[in-house]
Structure 1
Amino acid sequence: MTLLSNIKAFSKTRLSWGLLLLSVIFFELCALFFQHVMQLAPCVMCIYERVAMFGIGGAALIGIINPKNTLIRWLGLGAWGASSIKGLTLSLEHVDYQFNPSPFKTCDLFVTFPDWLH
């Protein structure tokens, strides 16, 4: 079997989609630990990146429904790809804010919303 056929076969199992969902939950819990235990306030870009991670989690939930069904698996893969691309563009923009500081492009703290939201 080739590598691509192995990846295709693995994508037809619930284990692959479950691992994706577990990794999203792990990273979201890490972000909440940094925010609430270590008292590191998130900025707006951090919150947007978390939302993109929730999109990946939603894609994992779509894929875990019936991974052997081609339509559902492709819907999950499409949602995963769209959320991943959006998360990557947000992350690259966030890194650009940090490495190339400018008074016109800033990473404002998330202070204008209610406390329960962040």
Structure 2
Amino acid sequence: MLTQITRVTNLRIFWVLLALSVLALEVAALVFQYGFGFEPCIKCVYQRLALWGVFVALLPACLFPKEKVVKLVSSLASAFFAAWGAKIAIEHVGLQNAPNPLFAFCEVVPDFPQWFAPDIWFPALFEPRGDCSAIDWTFLTLSMPQWMQIIFIGYAVLGTALFILTAVKKFSDIRGS
């Protein structure tokens, strides 16, 4: 079974499809924003950045899918950004489900380092204009941040599993040499 999974992860199409799934979520966010008029809040912007982190982390493995070290770095970095996104989505759900909405607020201005200003460089993608506590959309009774929790946790688990499987395979190859 480990050999079959390793074979799949050696295929460029596996990593490309994974990266395209992240890109599809970014496109969906833009459709919600510009098609349906749901303005992103600061937590949404941070989650978008986390998705971009997952996407960029997957690119090296898309280019070099047979290199174990590249797959280790890509899977670990994507798991890191996905875990960060899950943390933000969990905080966002907490704001939406706060018992007293008067105390459920988030910052208005992004807290980026001085050298990093995506909200200024790419305002169409990263400028926060919405309210964190607003629930504008639900699907199967879950709000968008709740869906993002599930999605980010899924990416984090997959990235972690890929890291472990690749590491086990790499170290078993080293021991077998």
Provide TM-score, normalisation by structure 2.
0.58
The 8 Å contact of residues 54 and 78 in structure 2, kept in 1 or not, is answered as yes
Instruction: Please list, as runs of the form range in 1=range in 2, the aligned pairs for 1:10-29 lying within 5 A after superposition.
Output: 10-29=8-27
Instruction: Please list, as runs of the form range in 1=range in 2, the aligned pairs for 1:68-87 lying within 5 A after superposition.
Output: 68-87=66-85
Q: State the distance in 2 between where 1:76 and 1:60 align.
A: 5
1:19 to 1:51, Cα distance in 2 relative to 1, 3 A: same
Instruction: Please list, as runs of the form range in 1=range in 2, the aligned pairs for 1:1-118 lying within 5 A after superposition.
Output: 2=1, 4-102=2-100, 103-107=102-106, 116=124, 117-118=126-127
Question: Which amino acid letter does the alignment assign opposite residue 15 of structure 1?
Answer: I
Identity of aligned residues (%): 30
Cα deviation for residue 59 of structure 1 reads 1.4
User: Secondary structure of 1:40's partner?
Assistant: coil
| Bigger Rg, structure 1 or 2 | 2
Q: State the distance in 2 between where 1:5 and 1:94 align.
A: 39
Provide TM-score, normalisation by structure 1.
0.84
Deviates more, 1:94-103 or 1:80-89: 94-103
Question: Which amino acid letter does the alignment assign opposite residue 91 of structure 1?
Answer: A
The 8 Å contact of residues 42 and 109 in structure 1, kept in 2 or not, is answered as no
Q: State the distance in 2 between where 1:19 and 1:86 align.
A: 22
- What is the number of residues matched between the two proteins? 115
The 8 Å contact of residues 22 and 55 in structure 2, kept in 1 or not, is answered as yes
**Gaps spanning 5+ residues in structure 1: where?**
none
Cα deviation for residue 101 of structure 1 reads 4.5
1:27 to 1:6, Cα distance in 2 relative to 1, 3 A: same
Cα deviation for residue 12 of structure 1 reads 1.5
Q: State the distance in 2 between where 1:5 and 1:91 align.
A: 35
Q: State the distance in 2 between where 1:109 and 1:30 align.
A: 23
Q: State the distance in 2 between where 1:71 and 1:50 align.
A: 27
CA RMSD of aligned residues (A): 2.2
Q: State the distance in 2 between where 1:88 and 1:82 align.
A: 10
User: Secondary structure of 1:67's partner?
Assistant: coil
Cα deviation for residue 108 of structure 1 reads 5.4
Question: Which amino acid letter does the alignment assign opposite residue 98 of structure 1?
Answer: Q
